[in-house]
Amino acid sequence: MAEKSTDKKKQVPASERTTCEATRQMLEKARRDGVILDLDRGYDMKPCPIGAESACCKHCYMGPCRINPRDPYKKVGVCGATIDTISARNFGRNVATGSASHNDHGRHILELFRSVIENKTKDFSIEDTQKLERVATSIGIEVEGREVYDVAKELCDELEKTFSNVDGEMPFVKRVPEATLELWRRDGIVPRGAMIEVMELMSRTHIGCDQDYTNLITQISRTALADGWGGSMVATELSDIMFGTPSPTLADVNMGVLKEDHVNIIVHGHEPAMFEGMLAAVQDSFYVEEAKSKGAKGINLVGMCCSGAEMMSRHGVPHAGNFGSTEAVIVTGAVDAMVVDIQCIKQGLAEVAKCYDTHLITTNPRCRIEGATHIEFHEHEPRTCTDQILTKAIARYGTRKMPVEIPKQIQSGVHGFTHEYIEYMLGGTFRGSYSPLNDNIINGRIRGVAGVVGCTNPKVQQDSVHVPLVRELIKNDVLVLQTGCSQIALAKAGLLTPEAAPLAGPGLAEVCETVGMPPVLGLGSCVDNTRILIAASAMVKAGGLGNSIADLPAAGCAPEWMSEKALAIGQYFVASGVFTVFGVGFPTIKETKFHDLLFNGLENQGYGKWGTGKDPMEIARMMIAHIDKKRKELGIDKARERVLVDMSDRRDIA
């Protein structure tokens, strides 16, 4: 039986759990139906205060050992480990897991790429040969006068090293600006291969191994860089080559994309292949007719979370909501099947799906859930899986028992920006270049660039930090690049349209209006954060803004983060030179040397640094102050007043 809500006294208004109106409605309905969602579980959970600050260790069975967070240097673990060792090891293992997840994803995409070029997988192909050549050229592969197959084969062999190398440097490291790369070489943190970096970090964090936090941080950075400049970048680039590089496309977001009179299938997860397979299958006239024979007007395929963001960017597939809405959307009763692959798939979905008679279907052998139906997806025969899913979803539509209540909220926006498109949009077809962007930064129209990315977290009212933070940044002429669940939060709030340009400060608004672009550019899923890395490198290489990524007037933020992947992403941005602020909280104790290293010391060594804050205005202030500091160091600072978003601005876009 599904978990039932019993303690009504503890419940706060649903509007305190989320600022998303559709999700609020569904949370209220769930409560009426007696079903507990993650949004309530998250608020009701009282996290262990010692664990929250990473002041405990269970790396061996002499412990677990706890340190007093209020007096972290008073006590050590049974083995003598200090708080700095304990928190560095815990942080390192978080980063290792996050990096492993992205690298596993990237390696899987590489395997698919190899099987496509070897003609073993016939349902997918090389869609974008221009991108193939561009990526190959970027790592030194000769393309002139060669067959597509030859170039693809060499690229595949070369990118394999991203995972399997045990020495040398990863292939995509060739894209890193020289000064940044020199810093990594100086400190011995250039990633070799993902497998060895993750393995070495796990080994170094074993009891009685690396017990100097200043030494541990080098392997932590190296493992994180193996994610950003390794597996994640492989995933993004090869997905573009196989499924097409996104370009700006109009797409609808929020639960209003569900249709009562259609068979609704939601795809949620991170790998694009299964979603691509579903997209092809729902167009099969046989299944469309089957759906009609059950009284439906058609089949409605929508996405959620990151694979949803990726498919929205690439094909304009509608998107039903971010991580914080994946359980709530099932409460509509309108979801005939939710199909999942890997990462960020809450186990709680199985119980909620059972309550609302929705098929929850796992498709990947690396992610099965007790209580869900497993129908494995194989790239070489996608229809074996997708046809079964369609049959189940159509049958469920024909026998829908649950009342259907679909929130009306729906918002159009422009998605699908890439670093290639930014170059083209600002530089033109024949002289595509980042120089116009740099020029606008140097002349002060654009104050700087911010990446605002990452998850939602039920510890925080859903979307309540993402939206005001981004509004404050654009108001202060900071161009915002977005990915993942953060992008969906802003899309729901209506900021991913050119019509949002007036919400920006006068300089940024002028650039947006001239080019016809939104002040907030959506770049896709969490692996697509690598698009931000490449854009940052291109800005350095275009000239005028310093020699390394650390010189750029830029900052990053994951305001409502929750996953270990987010920590790996944060660390690869910091190690690449970016000031990166995390909301919600941070798993270190402020008074410790390890915390000081992350939040100050790394910057003194030439890297970026971490920051943390909870209030969106406070986070914006920190990011803008950093951007201004970099402008000053570059000698492009001008006296400028920071503009605060007022109430009338807040009401402009509901």
Query: Does residue 563 interact with ligand MSK by CB under 6 A?
Result: yes
Q: Please answer whether residues 509 and 502 qualify as being in contact, where contact means their C-beta atoms are separated by less than 8 angstroms.
A: yes
Phi, psi torsion values for 325, nearest 5 degrees:
-115, 5
305 binds, among ligand SF4, ligand MSK, none (CB under 5 to 8 A by kind): ligand MSK
For position 498 contacting ligand SF4 by CB under 6 A, the verdict is no
For the CB of residue 471, give the shortest distance to ligand MSK in the complex, in Å. 20
Which of 114, 531, 565, 595 binds ligand MSK (CB under 6 A)? It is 565
Q: Tell me which stretch binds ligand MSK (CB under 6 A): 70-78, 196-204, 350-358, 561-569.
A: 561-569
Q: Which of 50, 179, 195, 207 binds ligand SF4 (CB under 6 A)?
A: 207
Q: Does 589 bind ligand SF4 (CB under 6 A)?
A: no
Half-sphere exposure (CA, 13 Å, Cβ side) for 27?
26
**Contact pattern from residue 594 through residue 633 relative to ligand MSK, giving x for each residue in contact according to CB under 6 A and a dash for the rest:** ----------------------------------------
Residue of the chain from 3, 21, 50, 64 that contacts ligand SF4 (CB under 6 A): 64
- In whole angstroms, give the CA distance from residue 503 to residue 505: 7
In Å, how far from its chain's centre is CA 636? 32
Q: Which of 20, 306, 490, 552 binds ligand MSK (CB under 6 A)?
A: 306
Q: Which of 508, 347, 517 lies closest to 417 in space, CA to CA?
A: 517
Q: Using alpha carbons, list the distances in angstroms from residue 228 to 114, 247, 496, 526, 608.
A: 21, 22, 25, 10, 15
Q: How many residues bind ligand SF4 (CB under 6 A)?
A: 14
- The closest of 342, 338, 341, 363 to 351, measured between CA atoms, is 338
At 382 the three-state DSSP class reads helix
How far apart CA 211 and CA 208 sit, in angstroms, is 7
- Sign, CA dihedral 174-180-186-188, equals negative
Nearest distance, CB of residue 564 and ligand SF4, angstroms: 19
Q: 339-358 mask for ligand MSK (x: CB under 6 A)?
A: -----x--------------
Contact 490, 466 (CB under 8 A): yes
In the complex, minimum distance from the CB of residue 255 to ligand MSK, in angstroms, rounded to a whole number: 17
- What does 532-573 look like in DSSP terms, one character per residue? HHHHHHHHHHHSSS-SSGGGSSEEEEETT--SHHHHHHHHHH
Q: What angle do CA 146, 151, 153 make, to 5 degrees?
A: 135
Judged by CB under 6 A, which stretch of 164-172, 176-184, 218-226, 560-568 contacts ligand MSK? 560-568
Residue 23 phi, psi dihedral angles, 5° rounding: -65, -40
Instruction: Note whether 624 and 473 are within 8 A (CB).
Output: yes
Q: Which does 454 bind (CB under 5 to 8 A by kind): ligand SF4, ligand MSK, none?
A: ligand MSK
Q: Which of 390, 393, 455, 574 binds ligand MSK (CB under 6 A)?
A: 455
Shortest Cβ 77–ligand SF4 spacing (Å) = 2
Q: Dihedrals φ, ψ of 479, to 5°? A: -75, 130
What is the rounded distance in angstroms from the CA atom of residue 385 to the CA atom of residue 282? 12
Residue 433: Cβ-neighbour burial (10 angstroms; 0-12, 13-18, 19+): middle
67 contacts ligand SF4 (rule: CB under 6 A): no
* Subset of 423-482 contacting ligand SF4 (CB under 6 A): none
57 binding ligand SF4? (CB under 6 A): yes
List 27, 65, 173, 304, residue binding ligand SF4 (CB under 6 A): 65
| 60 forms part of the interface with ligand SF4 (CB under 6 A) | yes
Q: Using the rule CB under 6 A, is 62 a contact of ligand SF4?
A: yes
Amino acid letter for position 514:
T
Check residue 126 for interaction with ligand MSK (CB under 6 A): no
Angle at 238 between CA 540 and CA 470, to 5 degrees: 50
Among 78, 166, 209, 250, binds ligand SF4 (CB under 6 A): 78
Least Å distance between CB 235 and ligand MSK? 12
Does position 526 interact with ligand MSK (CB under 6 A)? The reply is yes
Residues 84-113 that bind ligand MSK (CB under 6 A): none
Is 77 a binding residue for ligand SF4 by CB under 6 A? The answer is yes
- If binding is defined by CB under 6 A, does position 489 make contact with ligand MSK? no
Residue 81 touches which member of ligand MSK, ligand SF4, none, C-beta under 5-8 Å by kind: ligand SF4
59 counts as binding ligand SF4 under rule CB under 6 A: yes
Tell me which residues touch ligand MSK (CB under 6 A).
270, 305-306, 323, 344, 454-455, 484-485, 525-526, 563, 565-566
